[in-house]
Structure 1
Amino acid sequence: MPDPLSRAIRWDTVVGALLLVLLLLSFSFVDGFGNALNLSFLIGNTLPIAMIALPMTLLVVAGEIDLSVASTAGLSGAVLGRLWNEGMAIETIIPLCLLLGVVCGLVNGLLVTRLGLPSLAVTIGTLAAYRGIAQIVLGADAVTDFPAQYLDFAAGRIGNTFLPRAFVPYLVLLAIAVLVLHATPFGRSLFAVGAGEEAARFAGIRVKRARLLLFTATGFMAALTGVFWALHYASARYDNATGLELSVVAAVLLGGVDFDGGRGTLGGAVAGVFLLGALGNVMSLLSVSAQSQIVVTGVLLVVSVLGPRVARRISVARAGRRAASTPAPSLASPS
């Protein structure tokens, strides 16, 4: 059984602690951080990353990755804008956008699971393809005249609080993802798949089906994020969410999810998401340039890959020292 110190140096615990420290320092020393408008702005801007991070965490745990999520979101937003311009009801458009996300995720999943192509290469290719299709669909237009009730839901707050209205459905999605990953046989199978595909297959786990489901769910959530993005910022453009995949991957890996698969928690991933979001918000309040913020994100991406490995090596070394210091049981002398 791991001792308290071993649990304390788990990387996801470290990230959660860093998030708390950053929030305490920001409330104390950064002007404007604690007002309701800024906190609502922080959470609202972080929600697109947080939404995609849910299925991305499961996907990375299973040993795969999807870099096309931002382009899928952009394509979903472009279709939303185009169909709205064509006069279609938004209640019809949104399900079609979500179905499109399912198709995009399914394409990625089939290329990876049926043709055996590496997900990194496949999704870099579809990243460019989906963004190109989005540009064909909408061109350089920006669609802004969406129904007021949808804009209010995506950008409004709950009463006089700082919580965005969209944060409540996000919490529901988070609860579902936590249950799936950490409390179901399917979730446990994902850890086995990420730790060793052959061993998982010999254990009776349908590896290809599991990964195909994850790519499909990721495409669905990316499309939902694209709809939210267009309504939250009241603008549907083909280049919506450009670069969002870097923030999602950085946040998930920063939260301690192993890039090689088989390790990670959704709690750590969510802590990583909001740590990056809070850090970006603080840097903006302190007038740090956008270029410097990109540099910080890149550095954190490197740290997110290196940090968990260092933490695990420390834990393994401590376990080894404990085992070496434990006296071997003595053998009773024969009577």
Structure 2
Amino acid sequence: MADSALARAVRWDTVVGALLIVVLLLSFGFVDGFGNALNLSFLIGNTLPIALIALPMTLLVVSGEIDLSVASTAGLSGAVMGALWNQGLPIEAIIPVCLLLGVVCGLVNGLLVTRLGLPSLAVTIGTLAAYRGIAQIVLGSDAVTDFPAPYLDFAAGRIGDTFVPYALLPFLALLAVAVLALHATPFGRSLFATGANEEAARFAGVRVKRQKLILFTVTGLMASLTGVFWALHYASARFDNATGLELSVVAAVLLGGIDFDGGKGTLGGAIAGVFLLGALQNVMSLGDVSAQSQIVVTGVLLVVSVLGPRVGRQIAVAKAGRRAASAPPPTSAPVP
């Protein structure tokens, strides 16, 4: 019983959540400027693009798949947004077009994986390059910055004098939907079953291909939404928006305890990983750490996030084996 309670207490996602609290407390106490409202607003606003894509990415990785084209989809969405704005279309018409474009991008990935049986890692590496190239064709080297002020204020502004960005509120609503979908519905339970053993899930009646197609499509939708938010938050639509964001998303999701092989993890752990990564990047920026060094730290965290849970499981298996070996053999009843 004690061993079981200890195992629950030291689950990887619990450790990450505790580490996030420790990092925040230390940063408030020892990092100059970390605790002021403006910096906290910057921290949340800069982390939201990672968090938005992490929601569907978590579900996708739980099911045993991955999408590395999300940053390029976001960049393509921003490029189309800028090009259409230059053509004189109203922003209210442009945003739905960009979201529909994300659905198409995600659908292409999903069809290649589910209908042709191609590995998602290879497919999305290919579409990562393709979508980014299309973005450059669409917008070229231009930067579009003159979007309507109310949209810019919503994407980059904060509520009164608080540290809470306006954009955090819709994210929290999306987070609630994702948590319910993964942890409180039959669909979510089927994702865990698929990630743990796809063949067994299929025999149990799970429509695996349709499930994964939906996930890729939703991931594309959220990536395009992130592209729109990115362009408005930073007041700039360029073809190279969100370049490299996929590394941060994958690192944060895996850091939060989502098993790369699928079938394990919690959305709470993934979001803790997202904001832990965001807090560390913010602290490094306040300490004038170069962007290149921050990428190195992100890469190291990605390795640790993959290695850590595996080492923990191997230690647990080894302990269980030693306990089984040291247990006294069962005594047989005397023969009358």
Give TM-score, length-normalised by structure 1: 0.96
1:3 maps to 2:20: no
Rounded to whole Å, the distance in 2 between the matches of 1:79 and 1:328 is: 70
Report the alpha carbon displacement of residue 158 of structure 1 after superposing the two structures with TM. Answer: 1.1
Larger deviation, residues 61-70 vs 309-318: 309-318
Is this contact kept in 2: 1:252–1:273, CA < 8 A? yes
Alignment of 1:45-56 (within 5 A): 45-56=46-57
Tell me the residue number matched to 1:254.
Answer: 255
Amino acid at match of 2:174: L
Instruction: Give per-residue Cα distances to partners, 1:227-273, cap 9 Å, x unaligned.
Output: 00000000000100000000000000111111111111101110110
1:19 aligns with 20
C-alpha distance in 1 between matches for 2:24 and 2:152: 29
Please report how far the alpha carbon of residue 331 of structure 1 lies from its aligned counterpart in structure 2 after TM superposition: 7.1
Residues 155-210 of structure 1 show CA distances to partners (whole Å, capped at 9, x for unaligned) of 00011110100001000000100000011110010111111111111111011000
Contact 1:101 1:223 in 2 (8 A): yes
Q: Residue in 2 aligned with 1:176?
A: 177
What is the aligned partner in structure 2 of residue 312 from structure 1?
Answer: 313
Counterpart position of 1:234: 235
* 1:115 partnered with 2:116: yes
Percent pairwise identity: 84
What does 1:67-86 correspond to in 2, within 5 Å?
Answer: 67-86=68-87
Question: Which residue of 2 is the match for residue 29 of structure 1?
Answer: 30
In structure 1, C-alpha distance between the alignment counterparts of 2:99 and 2:301, rounded to whole Å = 31
Q: CA deviation at 1:326?
A: 6.8
* Deviates further, 321-330 or 158-167: 321-330
62-71 vs 304-313, which deviates more? 304-313
| CA deviation string 1:267-310 (max 9, x = no partner) | 11101100110000001111112221111111111001001112
1:166 maps to 167
Cα drift, residue 3 of structure 1:
2.1
Q: Structure 1: which amino acid aligns with 2:53?
A: I
Q: Is the contact made by 1:51 and 1:221 (CA closer than 8 Å) also made in structure 2? A: yes
Shift of 1:22: 0.5
Distance 1:316 1:183 in 2: 29
What whole-Å deviation, never above 9, does each CA across 1:62-90 have from its counterpart, x for those lacking one?
Answer: 01000000000000001111111111111
What is the aligned partner in structure 2 of residue 88 from structure 1? 89
In structure 2, C-alpha distance between the alignment counterparts of 1:203 and 1:323, rounded to whole Å: 33
Contact 1:10 1:312 in 2 (8 A): no
Shift of 1:49: 0.2
Which whole-Å CA distance do the structure 1 matches of 2:332 and 2:162 have between them? 67
Structure 1 contact 180–186 (Cα < 8 Å) conserved: yes
Hey, what's the Cα distance between the residues in 2 that align with 1:126 and 1:233? 25
SS at match of 1:146: coil
Give the direction of change, closer, same or farther, for the CA distance of 1:326–1:159 in structure 2 (3 Å limit): farther
For residues 319 and 275 of structure 2, the distance between their equivalents in structure 1, rounded to whole angstroms, comes to 30
Contact 1:9 1:311 in 2 (8 A): no
1:209 and 2:216 correspond: no
Aligned residue for 2:128? 127
Deviation at 1:312, TM superposition (A): 2.2
Q: Distance in 2 between matches of 1:179 and 1:112?
A: 26
Residue type of the partner of 2:293? S
How far apart in 1 are the matches of 2:227 and 2:322?
50
Residue ranges of structure 1 left out of the alignment (5+ in a row): none
Return the alpha-carbon distance in structure 1 between the equivalents of residues 233 and 70 of structure 2. Answer: 18
SS in 1 for 2:58: helix
1:314: Cα distance to partner? 3.1
Contact 1:9 1:315 in 2 (8 A): no
> Aligned with 1:256: secondary structure?
coil
Partners of 2:16 and 2:280 in 1: how far apart? 13
> 1:294: which partner in 2?
295
SS of equivalent residue, structure 1 residue 235: coil
- Paired position in structure 2 for 1:143: 144
- SS of the residue 2:153 aligns to: helix
Tell me if structure 2 keeps the 8 A contact 1:77–1:240.
Answer: yes
Residues 323/249 of structure 1: CA separation in 2 closer, same or farther (3 Å cut): same
Q: What code does the residue aligned with 2:216 have?
A: F
Query: Per the alignment, in what secondary structure is the counterpart of residue 16 of structure 2?
Result: helix
Structure 1 Cα separation of the partners of residues 294 and 258 of structure 2: 23
Confirm whether residue 39 of structure 1 aligns to residue 40 of structure 2. Answer: yes
Q: Which runs of 5 or more residues in structure 2 are unaligned?
A: none
